[in-house]
Structure 1
Amino acid sequence: MGNARASEGRGAVTNAASTRFDDKAREADGDWLDEREGIDGEAPRLRTEITVETPRTIITRNQSPDIGFDRSINAYRGCEHGCIYCFARPTHAYMNLSPGRDFESKLFAKPSAPDLLRKELAAKKYECRPIALGTNTDPYQPIESDYRITRGILEVLAEHRHPVTITTKSARVVRDVDILGPMAADGLAAVMMSVTSLDPRIAMTMEPRASAPAKRIAAIGALTRAGVPTFLSLSPVVPAITDHEIEAIVEAAAEQGARGAFSLMVRLPHEVSPIFRAWLDANFPDRKDKVMNLIREARGGRDNDPDFHTRMRPQGPYAMMLKARFEAACRKHGLNRERMSLRTDLFVKPGGDQLSLF
């Protein structure tokens, strides 16, 4: 496995990627280091540009039949973790930026998010249902240490007793256990920790600025001990690169108290596919064809299946084998015995009295 690119602290090999919205190819900015420390003691940080964004609303509504939540908040646009497979990369094209290295290094922060959230919760027609954090970009990516927008959002939700779910691949979530613990005690919070590999070398190449695998596993334990229901997201599984680790990852999470687990095979929508293929060329040239053949077998002969109802359900012998192995591992370690359920009846509307939905 080659990892020359991983030492630079970025996931995408190139920034020269045409998008659906801009046909002009982009050139890489060049690689340089700044004075800041490395993330989690790993590679030094490359320079990252941060733009303050001032949206008019902060809660995003979702109507997809494939996703189990109807609203979410993204405190940031773009993600410094640099996960090569990230399905959110194409959203940077809407900003006339590359889904490649721009997605990882030209970020947008939304400091007004907590105030906007309070305003939207106070709306007369607002009905309380769990808000999902981390559905597009990670709420605990490195810049959260400075901006603390996610923490501000949690403070508003805790104040108004509003349920929240968090998906992250960062141990930084533990820093907010003082908020999450009391919320969880009232049935208002749960965390999904994403772990895709236990191998530090693979993780650093595939997810260069996310927390190291051992730290993510340890975070599951820390959250569990604080009373926060914590689940494992073994997603995505990458054929011929991380698929052999399914049982070991489930076992490690279960040993730390994970209550359940979810798994999905890698998806390569829009510009993610050529970025992922370039990454394979740079890091796994010996198995690129095998990886892509298995992905295409599971996606109806395409790099990606974009259709509702089937895009989250890969098909074929290989996909079914992965599913069977994952489910067997969960049964062995007692995971998924109960469904996660958060309370909505405790919600207190800003400026009003406690409400009940029913």
Structure 2
Amino acid sequence: MVKSWAFEFIPAREGFTKSYDVDDTALRNEKGMAPDEGAAYFEFYLNLWSRAEELGFYGIFQSEHHFGRGYSPSPNLLIAAMSQRTKNLRIGAMGMVVPFNNPWRIVEEIGMLDNLTGGRLEIGTSAGIPHELESAGMSPAEGRERYEEALQIIDAGIRQPIISHSGKYWNFHDLRLVPRPVQQPHPPMWTTVISIESARKAARRGSKITTAFAQNEQIRELFDAYNEEAAKHGHPTGPEQVGLRRQIIIDESELVSTSRSEKLQDELHKMVAKTDKRYVAPGQKAFDAPSGGHGFTIGEDEYISGTPAQVREQVLEQCERTGAGHFLSIFGGCDDLDQLTRSWELYAVEVNPALARA
């Protein structure tokens, strides 16, 4: 079985206001949203996610982004809202940007959310995107330092109710962190990685991993390194521990999906090149970057497009080639909410059953 997830950005795009009745363009702000459209926009997504259970999705991961094209600066708020509309769906953030938060507060929110979801929470953490850190006045180096120290606090806090810590950024003694998570010994942990070194670090923590962008062969290398390191430390290994995230462009017409895919590729490459210093030029091997840092390219395998049958074949092939036991779909290249809804439905009918049988 390959577990099917939806990965959400909630893009801030003017085209996604098409389905609403508000026509007074004079009221629209710089993002193309009229004041009374915001609530309807979130309501659309909450309704879409609520249907995910009947559509055969295993879970939904929210993302956290700031200062840009996404409407999800606080994914835990969305998780709380989703917890009241769903019963079995696994819910999480992939991931919470740890350097922007107090780690002991993250532990408290994890406890609250795991209770609100009835033990359905997945914990995802991220060190953040360099340009977002810099926009907030934090260097990527400081962000990485804060992330590494905060993980020590988070890992301790989800396992025991009273913790102490002495470090560079946080110092406290005998903090009582409540409420406690429902899932024991703790909710599943996830880390987004783009380098083999980061994959090995996650393996040593006992965290699952997810990745994207690179070609399948390179991702298989990353997953193999993760499994090797996890085995050394007595942690679980195999498909259940690793997830593959890809852009899905699906339509009954192959011609339409191809056109949408080409447009998405052009937009995504330009956006990432502009906003993420870790991005390296096409043709370089993924995980190589200038000055010895961690970088990534966006390979052709990132985009899965075609008719429902073609998408199903590609998804199954990529999971087999990489060894992924979780597949995270981003339904990209949609011009409006109606098209987005149709993409979810096509995928649910044609792909989810095959993943459940894989």
Q: Which TM-score band applies after superposition, normalised by the shorter structure?
A: 0.3 to 0.5
Per the normalisation by structure 2, the TM-score is: 0.42
The structure where strand makes up a greater share of residues is 2
Per the normalisation by structure 1, the TM-score is: 0.42
The structure where helix makes up a greater share of residues is 2
